[in-house]
Structure 1
């Protein structure tokens, strides 16, 4: 009986998939990122405009790019940027980090968020 349950559990876990979200399409993400380009850029200069440079954003602690003046809310958020934290932030920036300075209302479409995240990662130098 126990062996049968163990085999059933193994078979079930072998067929289960964990929803980590779609990987995103960086080509489509570049189109979505056009909305972000008024304030953000992604290049190796690491110089910023109205918003911080997003080069090598993955794994960076929020509010930590040298030379950019972040809001106290962002600098103190304790976030580390990864796919999940970016997805949550891009959904509704003002709600995700209350008091941050980014006026952008967010991306309501999950595919747009996944695509722009894929683009940000692919464009990093």
Structure 2
């Protein structure tokens, strides 16, 4: 009986926790995110460490301070941003035109409107680490 009560409490806690979680808490599909990256980002960004293209490598971007990847010449606007690329920050940044997210940036991107694609992309970027 005690096990059933504890199990029921755990399930209730998970349900309640899910109800209170932020919209960013739902996990994206990493495989689908790889496809979104290829369609939306790969022309300008690489996912290989040390390989910059028109934009900086996005390898290990999650947790990195913005504008700090060695070997890439960032805009003054991004170097002055003083933020860290968290999943939440990436979500907000990529959901709108880059010039609105960071006025003065050189990045030309209109933003990703589909919330599922955005979740998938951010989930994929989160897997790119050593």
TM-score normalised over the length of structure 1: 0.83
**Paired residue secondary structure (1:122):** coil
Q: Distance between the aligned counterparts of 1:119 and 1:112, measured in 2?
A: 10
Deviations 1:28-83 (A, max 9, x none): 10111012100001113x22010000111111000000010000000100110011
| Cα deviation, residue 20, structure 1 | 4.7
- How many residue pairs are counted as aligned between the two chains? 112
**Equivalent residue for 1:51, pick from 41, 55, 62:** 55
1:1-125 correspondence runs (5 A): 14=13, 15-16=16-17, 17-21=20-24, 22-34=26-38, 35-44=40-49, 46-92=50-96, 93-125=98-130
Q: Structure 2 regions of 5+ residues with no counterpart?
A: 1-11
Aligned-CA RMSD value: 1.6
Q: CA deviation at 1:104?
A: 1.1
The Cα shift of 1:18 comes to 1.7
- Given that 1:55 and 1:124 are in contact with CA atoms closer than 8 Å, whether structure 2 keeps it comes out as yes
* Distance across 2 between alignment mates of 1:110 and 1:99: 25
Q: Please, which runs of 5 or more residues in structure 1 have no aligned partner?
A: 1-12
Structure 1 outlier segments of 4+, above 2 Å: 13-17
